[in-house]
Amino acid sequence: MDLKPITDFIRYLRFTDGLSSSDVIGWILAALAGIIAYRLIDNMQMSIERHNMLSTIEDAVSGLFDSQIAFSMPKGEIPSDDTADKFRVMVRSVLHDGSDWKFILSSDNPQKVDIRIADHQRYVHIRNDAKYNEWISTQALHEISLKMRRIEKMYKGGIVRRIDLSDMFREIIPLGMSGRLEFFRSYYGDYDAECLAYLIMQTVVSCHKYHNDEIVKEFAGYFRKHEEIWPLFYKNRRILKFRDAFALHRFRKLMEG
């Protein structure tokens, strides 16, 4: 007969001899308090790290939009070193809705987009009508795409949340209006345009959730009139089949009105 279990139990009784039940309960409560304190500290550290990362990307986007790497000039003028200081404006200045961005081809070479070099940068012609003659740096276009992809990754990684997207609506949703999404698609292709569309979709849904309804109505009005951008939202390859299913359904409802 194996006596080991009995022997082990007798040793346990000797070890606990003299211990009151209150001591055991005290140890258990102390252990639970330690676990709770650890989780609270860990959550606080994670929250601080999240806010630091969010602050960094918000500052980067704001800094880009405040950069004076765009031109707003009289009709017929083109960017040059001589006129750079006179007509240079911030990037956010050409994000207005006065007229749509256009993929303007060069008069010198109709096979290529109209690009001029000034102040050691390349500038793309985005508006050329009776009221607006505007250009934006290719650096700005590249940085916009890069930063929007970073926000998308942070959102999918849980660092950026819906409340954060709702707060950044002024930086994100205008990229989907006034021909800008169409311009990015023509200039860069579907990959960059689908990233912008995905982020715009999630931001619109986030704004609806947090009752920022005016911008939702404004974007919906634009969306309904521009069927050419619908595939960027409804057939977007960046949409996760299960995780984004509710957001896509909600977006459809909001666009239908």
List the domain boundaries for the chain. 57-67+139-256, 70-137
pLDDT at position 95 is 96
Q: In the chain, what percentage of residues exceed pLDDT 90?
A: 72
In degrees to the nearest 10, what's the CA dihedral of 86, 92, 98, 104?
70
pLDDT at position 45 is 61
pLDDT at position 183 is 97
Q: Which residues contact 143 (CB under 8 A, 6 or more apart)?
A: 64
Tokens of 69: 């790497």
pLDDT at position 19 is 47
Average pLDDT by stretches of 10, the chain with 257 residues: 54 50 59 62 66 90 96 94 92 96 89 91 95 97 96 94 96 97 96 96 98 96 97 95 95 94
pLDDT at position 23 is 54
Helical H runs in the chain? 4-16, 21-66, 84-87, 138-156, 162-167, 169-172, 180-188, 190-209, 213-225, 230-234, 245-256
pLDDT at position 13 is 47
Please state, in angstroms and rounded to a whole number, the distance separating the CA atoms of residues 216 and 213.
5
pLDDT at position 83 is 86
Q: Which residues contact 173 (CB under 8 A, 6 or more apart)?
A: 200, 203, 204, 207, 215, 219
pLDDT at position 109 is 84
pLDDT at position 107 is 84
In degrees to the nearest 10, what's the CA dihedral of 8, 12, 17, 20?
-150
